[in-house]
Chain A
């Protein structure tokens, strides 16, 4: 590009970057995958889930928001960082109700796929918070089960920035913070099945449910049945 590019390293691999690029953006382009849940192609960076935590110059930062810098030394795939990420993923599992065997998102779910990638195989240690929020099935084409929400905010940003609608927003504070809709229920908003916020893949889990689409693709042929999460990025490097 403009010749102002620079390079830095991730796990010892040299990565090219442009000023203003985040560590994650540069890593994605170079075919190095940094685990993430709240970050999504085409949306503003949020830095909320913290799964993309890396060590940059020894400091913990979220790779999706931290600008790359010349000669920065970034650690990504270390046992320590993957342990921290596994803890965060386990926290999300325990904060909501994530019962993979009965969830229609199973196989397409990024939380589930991330748990596999991070080797979440041992019994977890955390208590279950077991929320019991009311299911919002008011909309003819969409249902909302916020008990499965991981607060990634991808639907909020997609609706605001891509659809220009603002169907979703965060309300509450702390452990009571949750995604809410811009009316008494979803049917009273201008949400549509055509929205980017509702599109398959925007919600990483089974919180936003597209009615009558759930089992169109059978289990065994779903996204993460074909390869682990992040393989699309890592494949770039192998090519």
Chain B
């Protein structure tokens, strides 16, 4: 279909023309599908069947391909949403911090229930998984604006201000007009930096690492990164130097450096703080990586929940361009060209997986890619693509500036340097802590005022739930590995309620590509429900272990390989929680089997009660 904006127009054509203009703004490029659909969503509050057709026609795709993308991301909607969409963060930390009362206050003020859109199209109320604000829960997004530390009273006053027509930004940051994008972001969300270490959160000289890197050959840069012992900070802990070397050694005409700013692990928010406070350092690290691997193009994949940081990051990119530190002839060096584009996500945890992140950037549903080939060999559009976490790039820049030995001397034998920990939950001082690897969990709990902890989730739901007897364990890749999320739970918390929530999270976030993760996690989640309802048999404990093992061994990507961890690690460390709830049945009738409800359908058809097993039948 050709859409000619100059053709005769009437009212019914207008949306089509506006959508065609959106597509044209992205060069009708199918790889920019996520941007196109985000703009359609923002402009029309939904992606209608007609929009799907227009976008498909403009980008040369089929409607079902566009629908495949639009239906994948949580922030895109195939039904109309309100002009203001309020998304309450439904993380377990928010729940324990009083989410239910906040939700009720919004419902009462706006006159709609959670999950609904008001009849006049003004408001939608939704839940969304962790938005990276666990240190100031309960929190919510109002369109792209974030509000934190919600109470029922605050929710009611926000709702009433919105109904009075005040803009979300005006409510979240009064007097925002006079502020720079950086000041606005800092005023909207607190950083809560509780402990600044020597590498990232202490004083950082501008471009010291990049200037040093420019004195070195690309190979020498990679040698320095490898010698520092730096390992990826997103959670998996792969050697950064080896990754850079692999990307550099693959023959190719184009190469890419991608920054993974899609931290979605519940309880993680350290990248939020780095993006706010150290964006310049992060881009410096990306530029060093570009120099090392020979990339001219870069991209920051920013999770949709952090859209409030967009203007700030664009401003930092622009100031680096203006200062000759990004773009053409960086630092005046002929032939050293590198620029970075910001790509917004749209609500999909799995896009933190590097293959899925690349799929998403290519305009596809955020499904992980088949490995091999690995992204460093064939990634974005088939070209070698280096993907590192925000924190990893920041570390890399500091390593070049201060030397590999300086970094290597911190931490432990196989976990060098410092790590940012995002601490939340039942502790006095939630926030971000930069500490050398190797401290014990008990030491960290003392620092954060969480000595009363009964359980600590290390590394978020895909990590380990640790019990008191194991608080002597060390935070390092050799013992308790973590991307940084530390969630503290006091003895008042119900372990199975936490596990139940985490499994629902994985069910929600599985991409659905492979059978074990798509289906198996649903079964695990249902089984936990059985335990919580007191309907589990002793053999259900074996069932949990057995099914978990199948999911881990057969899943296609890291999501499925770690999704049973909330169950497996609590079975390991809190076995009594499970065994206390199971009931053995001497008559071999399963507790979960209720004969009356099993025959209810047949009874309704027969229109009479059954005499079988009916104790009340007379």
Contact of A53 among B49, B510, B522, B554 (CB under 8 A): B554
Give bound CA distance, A62 to B556, whole Å: 8
Q: Is A92 an interface residue (CB 8 A)?
A: yes
Q: Nearest chain A CB to B355's CB is how many angstroms away?
A: 12
B518 pairs with A166, CB closer than 8 A: no
Q: Is B550 an interface residue (CB 8 A)?
A: yes
Decide: A50 near B519, CB < 8 A? Known: A173-B511, A173-B512, A174-B510. Answer: no
Contact of B523 among A91, A151, A181, A183 (CB under 8 A): A91
Contact of B512 among A51, A53, A151, A180 (CB under 8 A): A151
Q: Nearest chain A CB to B37's CB is how many angstroms away?
A: 13
B523: chain A residues at CB < 8 Å are 91, 94, 126-127
B509 pairs with A50, CB closer than 8 A: no
Q: Is A177 an interface residue (CB 8 A)?
A: yes
B68: chain A residues at CB < 8 Å are 169-171, 180
Residues of chain A from 181 to 202 with CB closer than 8 A to chain B in the complex = 181-184
Decide: A94 near B554, CB < 8 A? Known: A166-B62, A174-B507. Answer: no
A60: chain B residues at CB < 8 Å are 553-554
If over half of B's interface residues share one DSSP class (helix, strand or loop), that class is named, otherwise mixed; here it is: helix
Decide: A175 near B365, CB < 8 A? Known: A88-B550, A182-B62. Answer: no
A87: chain B residues at CB < 8 Å are 516, 520, 547, 550, 554
A53: chain B residues at CB < 8 Å are 553-554
A131-151 CB mask vs B (1 if < 8 Å, else 0) is 000000000000000000001
Query: Which residue of B518, B554, B556 has the most chain A CB atoms within 10 A of its CB atom?
Result: B554
B554 pairs with A176, CB closer than 8 A: no
Give bound CA distance, A169 to B556, whole Å: 20
Contact of A151 among B348, B372, B518, B522 (CB under 8 A): B518
Q: Is A47 an interface residue (CB 8 A)?
A: yes
A177: chain B residues at CB < 8 Å are 511-513, 518
Contact of B64 among A47, A65, A173, A180 (CB under 8 A): A180
A83: chain B residues at CB < 8 Å are 550
A33: chain B residues at CB < 8 Å are none
Residues of chain B from 522 to 556 with CB closer than 8 A to chain A in the complex = 522-523, 526, 543, 547, 550, 553-556
Among residues of A, the one whose C-beta sits closest to the C-beta of B549 is A84
A171: chain B residues at CB < 8 Å are 64, 67-68, 71
A173 pairs with B370, CB closer than 8 A: no
Give bound CA distance, A67 to B514, whole Å: 19
Give bound CA distance, A131 to B71, whole Å: 18
Decide: A50 near B507, CB < 8 A? Known: A60-B553, A84-B553, A91-B523. Answer: no
Q: Is B65 an interface residue (CB 8 A)?
A: yes
A180: chain B residues at CB < 8 Å are 64, 67-68
B511 pairs with A47, CB closer than 8 A: no
Residues of chain A from 58 to 73 with CB closer than 8 A to chain B in the complex = 60, 62, 65-67
Q: Nearest chain A CB to B353's CB is how many angstroms away?
A: 14
Residues of chain B from 55 to 73 with CB closer than 8 A to chain A in the complex = 62-65, 67-68, 71-73
Q: Nearest chain B CB to A49's CB is how many angstroms away?
A: 5
A50 pairs with B516, CB closer than 8 A: yes
A170: chain B residues at CB < 8 Å are 68, 365, 512
A50 pairs with B511, CB closer than 8 A: no
Among residues of B, the one whose C-beta sits closest to the C-beta of A152 is B515
Q: Nearest chain B CB to A167's CB is how many angstroms away?
A: 8
Q: Is B508 an interface residue (CB 8 A)?
A: yes
Among residues of A, the one whose C-beta sits closest to the C-beta of B509 is A174
Q: Nearest chain B CB to A179's CB is how many angstroms away?
A: 9
B65 pairs with A166, CB closer than 8 A: yes
Q: Is A48 an interface residue (CB 8 A)?
A: yes
Among residues of A, the one whose C-beta sits closest to the C-beta of B72 is A173
Give bound CA distance, A50 to B370, whole Å: 12
A47: chain B residues at CB < 8 Å are 370, 514, 556
B63 pairs with A182, CB closer than 8 A: yes
A48 pairs with B554, CB closer than 8 A: no
Contact of B72 among A45, A91, A172 (CB under 8 A): A172
B64 pairs with A176, CB closer than 8 A: no
Taking residues whose C-beta sits less than 8 angstroms from the other chain, chain A's interface range is 35 or more
B62 pairs with A92, CB closer than 8 A: no
Among residues of B, the one whose C-beta sits closest to the C-beta of A45 is B370
B513 pairs with A48, CB closer than 8 A: yes
B475-515 CB mask vs A (1 if < 8 Å, else 0) is 00000000000000000000000000000000111111111
Taking residues whose C-beta sits less than 8 angstroms from the other chain, chain B's interface range is 35 or more
B553: chain A residues at CB < 8 Å are 53, 60, 84
A168: chain B residues at CB < 8 Å are 64
B514 pairs with A48, CB closer than 8 A: yes
Residues of chain A from 76 to 117 with CB closer than 8 A to chain B in the complex = 83-84, 87-88, 91-92, 94-95
Among residues of A, the one whose C-beta sits closest to the C-beta of B371 is A65
A84: chain B residues at CB < 8 Å are 550, 553-554
Give bound CA distance, A80 to B37, whole Å: 45
B370 pairs with A172, CB closer than 8 A: no
A129 pairs with B516, CB closer than 8 A: no
Q: Is A125 an interface residue (CB 8 A)?
A: yes
B71 pairs with A173, CB closer than 8 A: yes
B509: chain A residues at CB < 8 Å are 174
Contact of A48 among B63, B348, B522, B556 (CB under 8 A): B556
Decide: A88 near B516, CB < 8 A? Known: A53-B554, A173-B348, A173-B511. Answer: yes
Among residues of A, the one whose C-beta sits closest to the C-beta of B555 is A50
Among residues of A, the one whose C-beta sits closest to the C-beta of B70 is A171
B136-173 CB mask vs A (1 if < 8 Å, else 0) is 00000000000000000000000000000000000000
B61-90 CB mask vs A (1 if < 8 Å, else 0) is 011110110011100000000000000000
A88 pairs with B62, CB closer than 8 A: no
Give bound CA distance, A151 to B510, whole Å: 14
B515 pairs with A48, CB closer than 8 A: yes
Among residues of A, the one whose C-beta sits closest to the C-beta of B511 is A173
Decide: A173 near B522, CB < 8 A? Known: A87-B547, A166-B62. Answer: no
Query: Which residue of A49, A129, A151, A171 has the most chain B CB atoms within 10 A of its CB atom?
Result: A171
Give bound CA distance, A88 to B514, whole Å: 10
Query: Which residue of B64, B73, B518 has the most chain A CB atoms within 10 A of its CB atom?
Result: B64
A91 pairs with B64, CB closer than 8 A: no
A16-54 CB mask vs B (1 if < 8 Å, else 0) is 000000000000000000000000000001011111010
A67 pairs with B372, CB closer than 8 A: yes
Give bound CA distance, A51 to B515, whole Å: 9
Give bound CA distance, A107 to B431, whole Å: 60
Q: Nearest chain A CB to B52's CB is how many angstroms away?
A: 10
Among residues of A, the one whose C-beta sits closest to the C-beta of B523 is A126
A174 pairs with B554, CB closer than 8 A: no
Decide: A169 near B65, CB < 8 A? Known: A62-B556, A84-B550, A88-B554. Answer: yes
Query: Which residue of B507, B508, B509, B512 has the most chain A CB atoms within 10 A of its CB atom?
Result: B512
**Which 9 residue pairs across A and B have the least CB separation, nearest first?**
A177-B512, A169-B64, A182-B64, A91-B519, A174-B510, A87-B550, A166-B62, A50-B554, A171-B71
15 contacting pairs across A/B (C-beta < 8 A): A47-B370, A48-B556, A50-B515, A83-B550, A94-B519, A169-B62, A171-B67, A171-B68, A171-B71, A172-B72, A173-B71, A173-B511, A174-B507, A174-B518, A176-B512
Given contacts A50-B514, A88-B516, A94-B519, 18 further A-B contacts (CB under 8 A): A45-B370, A49-B515, A50-B555, A84-B550, A87-B550, A88-B550, A91-B516, A92-B515, A95-B515, A95-B519, A126-B523, A127-B526, A166-B62, A166-B64, A169-B67, A173-B511, A174-B510, A177-B511
